[in-house]
A and B are shown apart, each in its own frame.
Chain A
């Protein structure tokens, strides 16, 4: 019988193993590690081959490791334009349940693409483990290099590092979950009929944006915790038993108020789909499961909706940094640089207000600018930077950026890192639009008195909470007609669009009884009501 290794030897062996794999350092590096291999010029034809992608990927990976980018393992997949359109249509996921709205998406994408009205995205990347990046077959070799650096290292490290993704998404199980969802929905269609399932999914989709948790629910208590809590309660109750008090006349039982005064749920709830899944009286078990599936998928995409600027900016910053580093090391030829830089410039182009094609801020441009500016503040701070960013000015940039990527979402990221210099460069100005005034007002511009206001306004603009109406479950009429009341809490008196009535019909279908919606202004007064009667059963 072989002798078991002594217990002393085991811990000693561990660090040795860890030393071999330096890929994921505990703390971010303070700067790029030195080049450890002798660089060689990579071939630069315009057509790609598998060997070439392999070679480029190898160098990109090595360069990314020198900057300490921590990623999920990468899986690069070559796909055709058609497959790209397929992926587009099913919200970028490789597999999803079937629904007519994805068909609509596909048809319009296909039409636009065939007419040449739009180019397809160069890449799609999926927040999964391993991280799947799609490379389109039409791309040239320099473009493939750009996509690999952008998606497989930029986005990938963001998915793995950002706190919202860490909290809300489970990269290792999403594909499996979607496979399950697809099969489950297909099974329901078979059992209950296409129309019924389709109608039901429509209703769930209408509430998709209101089917996410913004904060974690408290974890369910374990049995042990439950037991000890019970003991505490009993001990406390025992302490309260005092026969002396029994001699006092009992207070006349407080008339328990009018029954309606107590609402159900006690506190308003913002996750409408969750509330429906748990409380809608008439749903069949399969319907509850479908609500759950839609809710889970919405939750999976919730972080992406909140980190557009950060995520795209991060990926753009890193493809720019990595490819430039590779050029400096002597890997890349001039032609390759020119080609990817051309796409890069298109991607980060920011039209000005009033330009043709202006539609708000370009998240790529804004994000890229902020990260680049952050690096500048670290490396070459001005006096202004020292005043605005005392804690990062002059510190190593790699850890500063890493921190920024991990711990913020768009709203707080802009609120924290948008510098006066950038506001000047973008020539930002804030417009206040109050419908009670006949004119709109320039409330702040890029000057000393306006920096903070502009930054605050822009930050708020990226707050999902103010972009989407705040609608919560307010009450259920438990004693009467079981109708559900939702309440819209107005923000800055912004009214709800009348299409709300259409959505309410969907809510009524899910709830099974009548549904009311009240829109309440800042003072708590209801200014508008919508009502949809119970659907016919």
Chain B
């Protein structure tokens, strides 16, 4: 008989198609990047990290081959004749030939077909997002990885490795078990021993019946003693191990202030750019803090605390007084976020336009009130021209290590604003 083989392949070679999938993604990078960009604009800062459905028009995906168009003479056979006889003439059904009859690839012609859509995984989504921001690799891995874990003791468990064996607990358990298992036998033994002593006494006294009962009693006593001696001193079920659980390192809380100019000169493009700037800081913070609160402050001539939706999408007009936002931030900190409890981060985006008498005041508020309470404050100017706010801030930047500023007119220019922040972190990790 020939040797027949049944092979279990289930464990081998999963995800063989991953290489092909990567090639597919590579080819449609532009469409995917566009989809990610749209998704980022539509999503809240907090729920950035999930996958996304990407749609690609079918015609972009087609692999052309030579094939027939409709027309000419063709004869096709169909099953299920109900009413026709030879020679019947039928109106041509709309939409071309009546059933292509097994024509394999008729599917990439014709219109109105659905787009090809597929889901980007969370990792893929973030990868594309990071690529857009031109993040260096070190930073990318920092952001993409889950934070480090610390192990903590968490009581005792009945299994574990020998190095975690807790001797005292194990022995305590063993004693209890020995007591519990042996108690019945021991009681019986005590009774029998008493009986035996009485019987012996009686036998010595010359009681024949007692004498006869003696060997039986002795036997039972020995049997019980043996059973008791068979109870193990230490059994595997007695063992107790120190249990350790992993918990993520970040344990403190942070608050992030997003300050944005919403005066008439901030158009949608600038707001989108600002949003990326806020997202990046938020992502950084999520790696380091367990609990993060975000405060959105928008301002024109007056500042206002708003929710995220209004922050990014409502439009205002009018002049600009930047200091109003800083004052409000200061007030909020004092009222709700005591610097001794919270790590405070500030992120400010503006097109640099400010009422010229106000810029000096901004510098003062920052230097004297806000910066001393902040862990980090980053300012990004989403426009090219340098105005007086920029000049004032430049003076400030020289003396303040945790103040960063930068001009950004495209998404890939945002990262450098945070360079110091990430660098510090990298150095700290290396140490």
Contacts and interface: CB of A to CB of B under 8 A. Distances in A.
B77 interface: yes
Nearest to A360: B102
Interface in A37-91: 50, 53-54, 57-58, 61, 73-80, 82-83, 85-86, 89-90
B70 A435 contact: yes
Contacts of B66: 209-210, 468-469, 471, 488, 496-497, 499-500, 503
A490 interface: yes
A107 interface: yes
B161 interface: no
A444 interface: yes
A432 B75 contact: yes
A147 B256 CA distance: 61
A58 B109 CA distance: 48
B416 to A, nearest CB: 30
Given A461-B101, A469-B66, A350 B72 contact: no
A293 to B, nearest CB: 16
25 contacts: A57-B4, A78-B8, A80-B14, A83-B13, A83-B16, A86-B14, A99-B20, A100-B24, A107-B21, A108-B118, A350-B80, A358-B99, A360-B100, A361-B79, A431-B75, A439-B90, A440-B90, A446-B81, A461-B77, A467-B103, A492-B72, A495-B69, A496-B67, A499-B62, A503-B64
Contact of A493 (B6, B10, B71, B104): B71
B76 A433 contact: yes
- Which of A208, A440, A441, A447 has the most chain B CB within a 10 Å cutoff? A440
Contacts of A103: 17, 19-25
B287 to A, nearest CB: 30
- Which of A210, A445, A488 has the most chain B CB within a 10 Å cutoff? A445
A171 interface: no
A535 interface: no
Contacts of B119: 111
A355 to B, nearest CB: 7
Contacts of A6: none
Contact of A80 (B4, B5, B10, B61): B10
Interface string B66-102: 1111111111111111101111111110000111111
Given A446-B81, A494-B69, 17 more contacts: A58-B4, A77-B8, A86-B15, A99-B23, A102-B20, A206-B63, A353-B78, A361-B79, A427-B81, A430-B78, A433-B76, A438-B92, A440-B90, A440-B91, A441-B90, A496-B69, A499-B62
Nearest to A427: B81
B4 to A, nearest CB: 6
Interface of A: 23, 50, 53-54, 57-58, 61, 73-80, 82-83, 85-86, 89-90, 98-104, 106-108, 111, 130, 134, 137, 194, 198, 202, 205-210, 350-355, 358-361, 426-435, 438-447, 449-450, 454, 457-458, 460-462, 467-469, 471, 488, 490-500, 502-503, 506
B9 to A, nearest CB: 5
Contacts of B5: 74-76, 130
A313 to B, nearest CB: 14
B116 interface: yes
B69 A497 contact: yes
B7 interface: yes
Nearest to A492: B73
Contacts of B80: 350-355, 358, 426-427
A98 to B, nearest CB: 5
Nearest to B119: A111
Given A106-B20, A108-B118, A440-B98, A205 B63 contact: yes
B76 A86 contact: no
Nearest to B73: A492
A107 B23 CA distance: 12
A454 B87 CA distance: 13
A417 B286 CA distance: 71
A478 to B, nearest CB: 25
A209 B65 contact: yes
A194 B20 contact: no
B430 interface: no
A490 B66 CA distance: 13
Contacts of A355: 80
Nearest to A61: B4
B180 interface: no
Contacts of A354: 80
Nearest to B109: A497
Contact of A441 (B9, B22, B64, B89): B89
B205 interface: no
A426 B80 CA distance: 6
Contact of A83 (B4, B9, B64, B71): B9
Contact of B87 (A208, A442, A499): A442
Contacts of A467: 102-104
Interface in B21-40: 21-27
A98 B90 contact: no
Contact of A352 (B6, B79, B101): B79
Given A429-B84, A471-B66, A90 B99 contact: no
A502 B42 CA distance: 36
A131 to B, nearest CB: 11
B2 interface: yes
A445 B10 contact: no
The 10 residue pairs across chains A and B that have the minimum distance between CB atoms? A352-B80, A103-B24, A494-B72, A103-B20, A502-B64, A360-B102, A353-B78, A497-B69, A493-B72, A492-B73
B69 to A, nearest CB: 4
Contact of A89 (B13, B20, B69, B108): B20
Contact of A430 (B4, B75, B108): B75
Interface string B147-159: 0000000000000
Contacts of B4: 54, 57-58, 61, 73-74, 76
B68 A469 contact: yes
B89 A439 contact: yes
B86 A447 contact: yes
B27 to A, nearest CB: 5
Contacts of B24: 100-101, 103-104, 107
Nearest to A438: B92
A293 B293 CA distance: 59
Given A353-B78, A360-B99, A83 B10 contact: yes
A468 B103 CA distance: 9
A169 B414 CA distance: 58
B7 to A, nearest CB: 5
A202 B24 CA distance: 12
A194 B26 contact: yes
Contacts of B77: 361, 428-431, 454, 457-458, 461
A441 B97 contact: no
A103 B118 CA distance: 11
Nearest to B78: A353
Contacts of B26: 100, 194
- Which of B10, B26, B78, B92 has the most chain A CB within a 10 Å cutoff? B78
A535 to B, nearest CB: 16
B204 to A, nearest CB: 70
A389 to B, nearest CB: 20
Contacts of B103: 360, 467
Contact of B6 (A57, A361, A442, A461): A57
B67 to A, nearest CB: 5
A499 B109 contact: yes
B359 to A, nearest CB: 50
A442 B85 contact: yes
A467 B106 CA distance: 11
A447 B7 CA distance: 52
A442 B84 CA distance: 7
B76 A431 contact: yes
A75 B2 CA distance: 11
A500 to B, nearest CB: 6
A106 B21 contact: yes
Nearest to A79: B9
Given A361-B102, A461-B76, A461-B101, A495 B71 contact: yes
